[in-house]
Structure 1
C-alpha cells in the first residue's frame, strides 16, 4: 500500500473561494479549483498513484519536519531540518477582495528559502484534472509551464528553470508533469507560483523576490486586520483565533456560504465505507456558524450568510416539495448528485470515494430550527430582512406548524429509515419559539395563536415521548432507549434549563455510555442501526458540546479538564478533523467547520461560567 500521511499531518490555506491542504512532507495533496466544490486538481490524499500532487521537499532521507502558521494568519510554513541545512517552504493563497478579479483565477504561492547551511529541494508538479479522470497537455518554456485541462488551465511560474517529467498520459490518464531541482544557500530564496485560469487566460507575471515579498506581506496584513476584529479575549485565545480563521477559510466569499469541510472522501473508519463529500453548505452547520461569528464580532460575515439563507427560502422549492433542502452548493444550487469515483482507491484503501452527497434529498426537520436560530440572532432583524423577508419567514413557519409531526432521517443523516427523532422535534420548537418572539418584538403580522399552540404541543410531546423513564434520560428517538449526543444542544437553544433535574440525569446517562475519557460518541450504532457497515470514532463536535453542557450545568472542574484534554487532540497547527479514532488519530473530513465552531462556543461558555464562579468567590 502507498504511504499516506496521517490526516492530521496537514495545514490548510485558502483564498476565501477555494482551499488547499499542505502535508507536513511538503506536498499539496488536495486542491480543487475554481471552487472548493469543484473537481480536484491534486488529490493524492485519496489516491497516491492517480490523484496528483504538487510536492516541494529536500532531496534527503534524513529530514526532520516542523510545520506552523505565521501567527494569526493562514500563511503556512513547513520547515525542513537536515544535517546540511535548514530550509522552509512558505505556502499561502493571496486573498483578493476586488470585484473585477475573475473567480476562476486562484494563486497558490510557494516560497522557498534556506535559513542555515545549504539545501537542495526537489520540486514536482503533477496535476490530475477532474479527480484524476481527465488527461491534460503541457506547454513548457523555461521558467513557465501551463497544464491544459478540461475547462481549466493551470499555470506554473518559477524563479528557477522547469523541465518536463514522465511520459505522456501514463496509464491513459494525466499527461506530462513538471519537475525542478533547487539548491539554495543561507539567505537565498526561490519561488514557484501556481495559478488557475479559464482556458486561454493570460499567464501570470514572472516570479520575482520582490513580488513574492509583496504578496506575502499583503496576505499577512489581510489576516491580521481580520483577526483584530475578533472580540474574544479569554483563556483559549490562540485556539479560538485559529478556529475563527479556519471558519473564515471555509466561507465561500462570493456568496457568503460556509462549507462543512475542505475535503471529501476521508474515512470515518480506515478501510470503511463512511466516506462522504463535505464541500457543501449544510443549513445546520452554517446556521450555527452565524451565531459563533456574531459572538466573535464578525457581523459582516454573519449577515452575508443570512442573505444567502434568505434566498433559499424565497427561491423555488427543491424537488421533494419541502421548503428547504438540508444542503446546497455554495452558489445555492440544490443539485448534489452522488457518484462513486471507482478509479480512486481511497485514503488507505477506504472505498468507495464519493463525490456529491445523496443525503441532500433527506428529510431533516431540524434545519428549520437552525435556520430560525441563524436568521433571528440579529440586533436589527427589521433592517436585515425587511417586510418582504418577514412575509417569507412567516410563511415558512405557517408551513412548519402543520408539518412538524413527521418521522425524518435526523441530524446524523443515517441511512436506516425515518424515525421520530427527539432532536428534530426540539429544533422545530426552536423555529416556532423564535418566530413568536420576533413577531411580538417587532410587531409583525403572524398567526401567533397557532404558532404558540404548535410550539407547546411539541414541548409536551418531547417531554412525554422523548423522555425514557427506564433510562432516566432524553433519548434519540421516540420509543427507543438510545442516547444521542445531539441532545447536548437542548440547553443552548433554551428548550430546557441546563440545571434542570431531567437534563442533569440525561447528562449523567451520556457520561456513562457515550463518553470515553472526555471524548464523546454521537450515539451507539450497535444499539441504533444506521444503515451503514462499520463503526466510527468519537465525534469532536460532540466532545466540545459536552464541555459546554458541563460548564452550563455548573460542573466547572470537569468541564475545564475535558476542554484541556480535548485540545490535546488538535493537530500540530491547531486543526481538527471530524472524529478522533481509538488511538487518538484524526478521522473524517478535514478540517471540519462544525468542530471548530463548537470549540469556540465551548470556550465562550466555559470562560463565562469560570468568570461567574470567580466573582462569587
Structure 2
C-alpha cells in the first residue's frame, strides 16, 4: 500500500466557494471545483494512485518542510529547508465574492529565499473522482486539461525580462511534469484555473503579487471585524478564519468539512462525506460568530435557514432536513467510489450522505436558537420568516415525543435520545422568547405546554438513578457527551447537583486524559463495525461545561492539553486516535466552533465574569 501523509500534515486554502488541502510536502491532494460538494479534480488523499494530485517539491534528496499561515490570512506558506538553500511555495485562492462562480484560481507562487533550489512539478488531475478521462494540450508556458465540459487551465508566472526558468519534462500520459531552478530572490509559479476561462496566458510576476496583496487585504480586513480581545487570540482567530473558509459565500451555508472519506478509524468503514451544510453545525456557527462580532456571516446563514424553513421539502421526517447541499438542494444520495482503496486502506470511500433522510429532532432547537441569537444581536426576523418558524414549531408540538436517530447519526434505528428532547425544549423556549419579546402572534400556551412537558419528561426519564446522571437515551445507562450542552443552552444550572453528578460520571467514563469520547459504542451499538477516537468537539464542550460549573482550573488545563493536539497550523480534524493522531474529515467546523465557544467561556470565568443569561 502506498504511503499516505498524515491527515494533520495539511493546511487549508479556499475562496469561499471551494477549498483545497496542501500537504507539508507541497502536494495538493484534495480539491473539488466549482463547489465544495463538486466532483474532485485532485483526491490522492483518499486514493494515492487514482485520485490525482498537484505537487511542487524540491528535487533535493533531503529536505525539511514546515508550514505557516501568512499572519491574519488564509494564505499558506510551505517552506523547504535543504542543504542547497531555502525555498517556499505560497498557496492561496483569491476570494470569489458572493455570486456563485464557475471560475476558481489556485495560485502557487514558488520562490527561493536563500541559496538555490530546483523544484519538481507534477500536475495529474483525475476528474469526477477518477471516473472521467481527460486530454492535455500544451502551449508555450500554458497548458489545458479537458474532461468533457470541465476545463482546467494552467499558466506560468513569469517576468518578461527573464529567461524561461521552467522546463516541461514529460506529458506523454496526459499529465504534466516540469521543473524549475531558482536562485536566491527569484520567484516563479503557476496558476491553475477551473471554469470558463478562455485561452490561458502567461501571468506576470507583478500580477501574481497583486493577487497576493489583494488576498492579504481581504483576510486581514475580515479578521479586524472580530470583537474578541481575550486570551488565546491566535487559536480563536485561526478557528474563525477556518470557519470562514468553510462557508459557501453565495448562500451562507457552512460545510461540516471540505473533505469526504477520511476515516474515523484507520482501516475501518466509518468514512463519510462531510461537504454539506448540516442545520445543526451551521446553526451552532451563528451563536459562535455572533459572540465574535461577525454579524454579517451570522445573518447570511439565518437567511439560508429561513429559505429552508419556508420551502416545503416533502420529507417524511418533517419541515427540515438534517442537511443540504450548499445551495439548499436536499438530494444527497450516497454512493461508494468503486475501486478506490481509501485513506490508508479505509474502505469504502463514500460520496453523498445516506444520513440525510434521518429523523433528528435536535435540529429544530439548534435552528431556533440560531434565530434567537441573531435577534439578540439586533437583527430581527421578518414577518414571512416568523410565519415559517411558527409552522415549524406547530409541527414540532405534535411530533417531538417520538424515537429518532439522534445527533450522532447512528445507523442502529430510532430511539428516545435525551439530547433530541433537550433541543426540542430549546426550540420551544426560544420561540416563546421571540414571540413575547416582539409581540408576535403565536400559540404561546401550546408551545409552553410542549416545553414544560419535555422538561418534565427529561427529568423523569433522562435522569438515571443507577448511574446518577443524565443518560443518552431513556431507560438505558449509557452516557453521552452531547448532554454537555445542557447548561450551555440554559436547561439546567451549571451548579445544580444533578448536573454536577452528571459531569462527574462523564469524567469517569468518557474522559481520557482530557480527551472526551462521544459515547461508548460497545455499550450503545450504533449499527457500524469498528471503533472511533475521542471526539474533538466534545472535548471543547467539556471545557465549557467545567468552566460554567466553577471548575475553572480544571477547564483551563483541559483546554491547554487539547490545544497540543492541533496541527502546526492550529487546525483540528474530527477525532483524535489513541496514538494522538488526528483522524476523520479535516478540518472540521464543529471542532473549531466548540474551540471558540470554550475559549470565550473560559476567558470570561478567568476574568471573574459569570453571565447567567442564556448564551
Residue matched to 2:138: 140
Measure, in 2, the Cα distance between the counterparts of 1:457 and 1:210: 66
CA-CA distance at 1:97 after TM superposition: 2.4
**Correspondences of 1:314-353 after superposition (within 5 Å):** 314-353=310-349
Q: Which consecutive residues of structure 2, in runs of 5 or more, have no partner in the other structure?
A: 159-164
**Correspondences of 1:437-586 after superposition (within 5 Å):** 437-586=433-582
CA contact (8 A) 1:162 1:178 kept: no
* Other structure's SS at 1:417 match: coil
Measure, in 2, the Cα distance between the counterparts of 1:352 and 1:440: 50
Deviations 1:308-353 (A, max 9, x none): 0000010022432510100000000000000000121100000000
2:280 corresponds to 1:280: no
Measure, in 2, the Cα distance between the counterparts of 1:162 and 1:107: 22
CA contact (8 A) 2:166 2:181 kept: no
* Other structure's SS at 1:390 match: helix
Judging changes above 3 Å, is the alpha-carbon distance between structure 1 residues 183 and 531 closer, same or farther for their aligned structure 2 residues? same
Deviations 1:202-260 (A, max 9, x none): 13442211011111010001100000001111110000000000000000001110000
Q: TM-score, normalized by length of structure 2? A: 0.96
Measure, in 2, the Cα distance between the counterparts of 1:550 and 1:225: 34
Counterpart of 1:122 (choices 113, 120, 126) is 120
Q: How many residues align?
A: 604
Deviations 1:426-484 (A, max 9, x none): 00000001111111111111111111111000000000000000100000000000000
Judging changes above 3 Å, is the alpha-carbon distance between structure 1 residues 344 and 364 closer, same or farther for their aligned structure 2 residues? same
Judging changes above 3 Å, is the alpha-carbon distance between structure 1 residues 238 and 419 closer, same or farther for their aligned structure 2 residues? same
CA-CA distance at 1:392 after TM superposition: 1.1
The worse-fitting range, judged by mean Cα deviation, of 261-270 and 156-165 is: 156-165
**Correspondences of 1:128-277 after superposition (within 5 Å):** 128-158=126-156, 159=158, 161=166, 163=168, 165=170, 167-168=172-173, 176-198=174-196, 201-277=197-273
CA-CA distance at 1:167 after TM superposition: 4.1
CA-CA distance at 1:165 after TM superposition: 3.2
Measure, in 1, the Cα distance between the counterparts of 2:239 and 2:377: 27
Residue matched to 1:171: none
Judging changes above 3 Å, is the alpha-carbon distance between structure 1 residues 596 and 383 closer, same or farther for their aligned structure 2 residues? closer
Judging changes above 3 Å, is the alpha-carbon distance between structure 1 residues 106 and 164 closer, same or farther for their aligned structure 2 residues? farther
Judging changes above 3 Å, is the alpha-carbon distance between structure 1 residues 197 and 503 closer, same or farther for their aligned structure 2 residues? same
Deviations 1:353-394 (A, max 9, x none): 000000000000000000101111124699642212111111
Judging changes above 3 Å, is the alpha-carbon distance between structure 1 residues 315 and 98 closer, same or farther for their aligned structure 2 residues? closer
2:427 corresponds to 1:431: yes
RMSD of equivalent CA atoms: 1.4
Measure, in 1, the Cα distance between the counterparts of 2:314 and 2:261: 25
Measure, in 1, the Cα distance between the counterparts of 2:377 and 2:227: 22
Residue matched to 2:289: 293
Structure 1 runs of 4+ with >6 Å offset: none
Q: Which consecutive residues of structure 1, in runs of 5 or more, have no partner in the other structure?
A: 169-175
Measure, in 1, the Cα distance between the counterparts of 2:315 and 2:366: 21
Q: TM-score, normalized by length of structure 1? A: 0.96
Deviations 1:595-617 (A, max 9, x none): 000000000000001101799xx
Residue matched to 1:75: 75
Residue matched to 2:161: none
Deviations 1:121-141 (A, max 9, x none): 000000000011100011110
Measure, in 1, the Cα distance between the counterparts of 2:234 and 2:178: 37
Measure, in 2, the Cα distance between the counterparts of 1:166 and 1:98: 37
Measure, in 2, the Cα distance between the counterparts of 1:320 and 1:382: 35
Residue matched to 2:162: none
2:49 corresponds to 1:53: no
CA contact (8 A) 2:272 2:350 kept: yes
Deviations 1:291-310 (A, max 9, x none): 10111011001101000000
CA contact (8 A) 2:167 2:180 kept: no
Deviations 1:161-189 (A, max 9, x none): 45373544xxxxxxx01111100010001
Measure, in 1, the Cα distance between the counterparts of 2:80 and 2:19: 23
Residue matched to 1:374: 370
Measure, in 2, the Cα distance between the counterparts of 1:276 and 1:541: 17
Measure, in 2, the Cα distance between the counterparts of 1:52 and 1:372: 42
Judging changes above 3 Å, is the alpha-carbon distance between structure 1 residues 314 and 127 closer, same or farther for their aligned structure 2 residues? same
Residue matched to 1:420: 416
Measure, in 1, the Cα distance between the counterparts of 2:149 and 2:254: 25
CA contact (8 A) 1:79 1:88 kept: yes
Measure, in 1, the Cα distance between the counterparts of 2:445 and 2:377: 22
Residue matched to 1:172: none
Measure, in 1, the Cα distance between the counterparts of 2:147 and 2:167: 19
